[in-house]
């Protein structure tokens, strides 16, 4: 939930939620008080900042968020819960795993961490599911996240006027945005195809961890869901020309097609083009 982060989201139809959760989300979607798409990320970031600067820091909210992202497509309402508490716990676990032993206590005191662990353990015993509807990535879009989409599903907004890939708009937001949206069935099919191509053409020695994990994550949700890739705050690290020229989804698709058709040089060229683009963005994390 940091400012320069991208997001992979799943929106499930209301019918995927059991009662009374379904009725609650239905009422929420119709509410005039809920955060709208144009300001929702800002609300999330502000709340996260307050937790980070608190003394001592707050690892996770004491209650789960009651907010969600909402989409309506052809008369069907889709909901993507924020699940801020769950995502905060998972992020804290990743943070500690990536930090040298003992260093994490410089950011979060051991007492606070122990309390967070106890609360998380209790939540897991009561709930059981550790699969959030939203994945986040700071300072880059993981290459595997491009696989579920095709170029024509892009919707780019650089201020007021949207620039779709080839069809109509997929969202109604006037803010600077680059997103892709696709049906779950298409997303799963494309990921499965990519995994198959990579296994056949490259072999098991290639690390398929990211693609494999994205595929497993997608399988956790309703088959009639929507999948969304949102560049989130990363759009503010790229100028208009760079966003217009960003064809990462198409280039990854071309790389997979190149492998599938025996055009290894094409696959390598496309892969290098995408990785070079995002290497520049990642470098901004350590820039003065």
DSSP state of 83: -
Show Cβ contacts of residue 70 under 8 Å, excluding neighbours closer than 6 positions. 11, 28, 29, 34, 37, 77, 78, 79, 80
Mean pLDDT by 10 residues, the chain (288 residues): 84 96 96 81 75 78 90 96 90 79 74 80 79 93 95 87 46 72 98 90 56 95 98 92 94 91 88 91 76
Q: Which tokens in the block code for residue 42? A: 């800002």
List b or e across 246-262, with b for residues whose CB sees 16 or more CB atoms inside 10 angstroms: bbbbbbbbbbbebbbee
How many secondary structure helices (H) and strands (E) does the chain include? 9, 8
| pLDDT score at 208 | 55
| pLDDT score at 207 | 45
The pTM score is 0.86
| 212 within 8 A of 198, measured Cβ to Cβ | no
| pLDDT score at 254 | 93
| pLDDT score at 161 | 47
| pLDDT score at 209 | 59
Q: Which tokens in the block code for residue 72? A: 């309506």
| pLDDT score at 135 | 96
């Amino acid at each position: 939930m940091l400012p320069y982060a991208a997001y992979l989201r799943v929106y499930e139809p209301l019918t995927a939620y059991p009662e009374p959760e379904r009725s609650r989300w239905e009422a929420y979607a119709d509410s005039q008080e809920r955060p709208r798409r144009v300001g929702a990320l800002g609300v999330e970031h502000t709340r996260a900042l307050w937790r980070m600067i608190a003394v001592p820091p707050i690892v996770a909210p004491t209650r789960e968020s009651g907010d969600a992202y909402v989409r309506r497509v052809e008369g069907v309402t889709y909901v993507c819960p924020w699940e801020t508490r769950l995502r905060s716990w998972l992020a804290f676990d990743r943070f500690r795993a990536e930090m040298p032993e003992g260093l994490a206590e410089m950011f979060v005191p051991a007492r606070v961490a122990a309390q967070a662990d106890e609360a998380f353990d209790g939540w897991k015993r009561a709930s059981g599911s550790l699969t959030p509807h939203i994945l986040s990535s700071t300072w880059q879009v993981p290459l595997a996240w491009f696989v579920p989409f095709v170029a024509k599903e892009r919707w780019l907004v650089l201020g007021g006027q949207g620039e779709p890939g080839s069809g109509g708009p997929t969202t109604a937001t006037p803010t600077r945005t680059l997103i892709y949206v696709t049906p779950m069935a298409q997303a799963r099919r494309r990921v499965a195809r990519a995994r198959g191509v990579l296994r056949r053409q490259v072999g098991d020695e290639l690390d398929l961890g990211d693609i494999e994990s994205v595929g497993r994550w997608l399988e956790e949700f309703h088959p009639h869901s929507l999948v969304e890739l949102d560049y989130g705050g990363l759009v503010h690290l790229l100028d208009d020309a760079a966003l217009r020229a960003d064809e990462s989804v198409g280039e990854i698709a071309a790389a997979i097609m190149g492998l599938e058709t025996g055009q290894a040089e094409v696959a390598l060229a496309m892969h290098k083009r995408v990785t070079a683009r995002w290497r520049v963005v990642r470098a901004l994390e350590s820039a003065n």
